[in-house]
Structures are given as structure tokens and as C-alpha cells.
């Protein structure tokens, strides 16, 4: 069975801040491991893919561009990162594709860079690490970006940010709460709901949003989102119930949430075509992710859609004959 993983991080020297020395909350050894694996593409990464039966990784820049305060520098760094990524893909187009980094600090430049990345470099969409210096993507300044995503018919992958837009008192003193175990999920899922409730998907019905980690809890909250919709004042509501947008505009990936009950729930609530495989390499282990995929309680044809066919359709990736039984 062909396997395509679509949330797989890499780093670029001089653009991506290293983990070593910057993440005191990490247990010993993790920062060094991640810095090494993020920077590597053709040695350990390909070996890991081969060992675990991953045919293609869709690469995206780990945290970096969104943390640059100077808009001019952000534009320069995004262009460098996307050129670097395109060069990686060009060396092994059979094994890699890529999401562009956007300098959203300057929305006009971000539109131009998105267009260049897709039409000239061959990248398959964009990935943004949550907010832009505390500004969320429902802000009016980003309307041209949504319009260009819709015109190009490519998705935006909304990923958690290392640095939150604001510090929440609930997490104070307990580092585990503010990161990937809870805080990132709450922040990114909430950001997606801002897009929904602000009417982004009414103004851009063809826009496509991808959420990792099985949808940042939103598929499991879908019934309650709909049940409370009627209590929202009409002036503050979008045109449709939240479930309409989640089933039409939102796609979710399995990155970092390797649970068969969660997978089944996501498929049941959003529909099979809106669930895609991802690992979150190198932050998660490929062996665990692929074992979860191959043992999933889905019919073979449905499993193939999650494993590769949905990604091929959404990202317009080539679909060669399956090399594996």
C-alpha cells in the first residue's frame, strides 16, 4: 500500500531557531535529536522512510518565519526557505513534495510568494504556524491571501505555533499544558473556529484548510458546535452550521494522534475523503505511525484513501502504480 505523509518538518540553517538552548521544558536528548533530524533530508530521513514503508513526505518548514518581527526580513527568509525546499523536492520528486512558508507579516508579499511557490516552484500549498504576531488569519488584511489560495486551488495547513499569541493563566507553572499535549491543540482549533465564525469560508467557499493532530479536537466537538449555534446572535453567525464548513472546507490529518477510535470518529464525522495520513516527523516516530495506519479498522479501499489517495487528490500529487502489496 502506497503511503504519503503530509505533515513532515524540516529546518533551514540560519532561518529555523535551534531547539538546543531554547526549550528548557524538553527532557534530556530530545532537542539534540530533533535539531539533527530536522536538518537532514537525504540520509537518516530517507532511511527512516524506507524502513517504515513511507513512499512520500510532504515537507514543511518547522517554526521560523512566523517568529520574524521585521516584515522585509520575513519576505526574504520565506523566499530562501521555499527555494531551499524546492531544491530538495527537485532532487527526489518521487519521494518529496512541499508546503510553502509565507511571509504573512506582509500580506501583499505573501500573495506573491504563494503564487511563485505554487506556479514556479511546484509546491503544493502552504503551511502557517498559527498566528502572525498575535494576529489571526480571519483579519481583513489576509483576505487577498485567502483569495489566492482559492484561485490556485491549494490548501493552507494551519499548524500550532511554538510561541502562543498570549499566555493563559491556566497553564502557568505547568509546562506540559501549554505545549503539544493541550495548549497548542486548543489554540489551533480555536483559530480554525475564528475562520469559520468570521465568514472566511462564506467569502471563499473553495478555500481548503488542513488541521493536524486529528483535527485539533474539532471533529469530536462537532455535535456540540452545531447544538450551540442557534444560541449565537444572528449577526455573529456565518451562513451555515459549523458542521457544514468542517465537512466542506476542512481536512484533518492523523499527525501525532495514532488512535483507532479517534480515526474512526474523524472519518464518521467529517467523511472519509477529509482524513489524510501524516506522521509529524521527526517529532513523532514513523514506525508507530505506520503501524497505526496499517492496522486501522478500515476496509482496504478506505484505508488506501487515507494512506495516499486523498493526499493525491487534495495536493494533486502523481499517483504511480502501488509498489507494495
Contact (Cβ atoms closer than 8 angstroms) between residue 23 and residue 60? no
Which triple of cell numbers denotes residue 47? Answer: 532511511
- Cα-based torsion angle of the residue sequence 26, 31, 32, 38 in order, rounded to the nearest 10 degrees: 150
3-state secondary structure at position 159: strand
Residue 211: C-alpha distances to residues 36, 97, 184, 252 (Å): 26, 18, 12, 5
CA distance 263 to 266: 5
Q: Which one of the listed residues 55, 130, 138, 280 is annotated catalytic? A: 280
Q: Where in the chain does DSSP place strands (E)? A: 4-10, 56-61, 96-98, 126-129, 156-159, 209-211, 250-253, 275-276
94 catalytic residue (yes or no): no
By annotation, the residues acting in catalysis are 280
Amino acid at each position: 500500500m502506497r503511503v504519503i505523509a503530509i505533515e513532515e518538518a524540516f529546518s533551514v540553517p540560519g532561518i529555523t531557531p535551534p531547539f538546543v538552548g531554547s526549550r528548557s521544558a524538553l527532557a534530556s536528548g530530545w532537542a539534540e535529536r530533533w535539531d539533527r533530524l530536522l536538518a537532514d533530508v537525504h540520509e537518516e530521513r530517507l532511511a527512516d522512510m524506507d524502513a517504515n514503508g513511507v513512499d512520500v513526505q510532504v515537507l514543511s518548514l518547522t517554526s521560523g518565519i512566523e517568529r520574524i518581527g521585521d516584515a522585509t526580513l520575513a519576505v526574504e527568509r520565506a523566499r530562501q526557505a521555499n527555494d531551499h525546499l524546492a531544491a530538495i523536492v527537485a532532487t527526489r520528486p518521487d519521494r518529496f513534495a512541499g508546503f510553502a512558508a509565507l511571509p504573512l507579516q506582509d500580506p501583499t508579499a505573501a500573495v506573491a510568494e504563494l503564487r511563485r511557490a505554487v506556479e514556479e516552484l511546484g509546491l503544493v500549498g502552504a503551511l502557517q504556524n498559527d498566528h502572525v504576531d498575535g494576529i489571526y488569519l480571519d483579519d481583513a488584511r489576509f483576505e487577498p491571501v485567502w483569495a489566492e489560495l482559492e484561485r490556485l486551488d491549494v490548501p493552507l495547513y494551519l499548524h500550532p505555533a511554538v510561541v502562543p499569541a498570549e499566555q493563559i493563566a491556566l497553564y502557568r507553572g505547568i509546562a506540559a499544558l501549554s505545549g503539544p499535549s493541550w495548549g497548542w491543540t486548543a489554540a489551533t482549533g480555536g483559530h480554525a473556529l475564528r475562520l469559520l465564525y468570521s465568514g472566511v469560508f462564506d467569502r471563499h467557499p473553495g478555500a481548503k484548510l488542513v488541521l493536524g493532530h486529528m483535527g485539533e479536537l474539532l471533529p469530536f466537538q462537532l455535535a456540540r458546535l452545531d447544538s450551540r449555534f442557534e444560541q449565537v446572535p444572528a449577526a455573529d453567525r456565518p451562513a451555515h452550521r459549523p458542521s457544514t464548513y468542517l465537512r466542506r472546507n476542512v481536512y484533518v490529518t492523523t499527525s501525532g494522534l495514532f488512535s483507532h477510535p479517534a480515526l474512526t470518529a474523524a472519518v464518521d464525522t467529517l467523511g472519509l475523503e477529509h482524513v489524510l495520513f501524516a506522521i509529524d516527523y521527526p517529532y513523532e516516530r514513523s514506525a508507530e505511525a505506520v503501524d497505526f495506519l496499517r492496522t486501522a479498522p478500515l476496509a482496504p479501499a478506505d484505508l488506501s484513501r487515507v494512506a495516499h489517495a486523498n493526499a493525491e487528490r487534495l495536493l494533486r500529487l502523481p499517483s504511480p502504480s502501488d509498489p507494495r502489496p
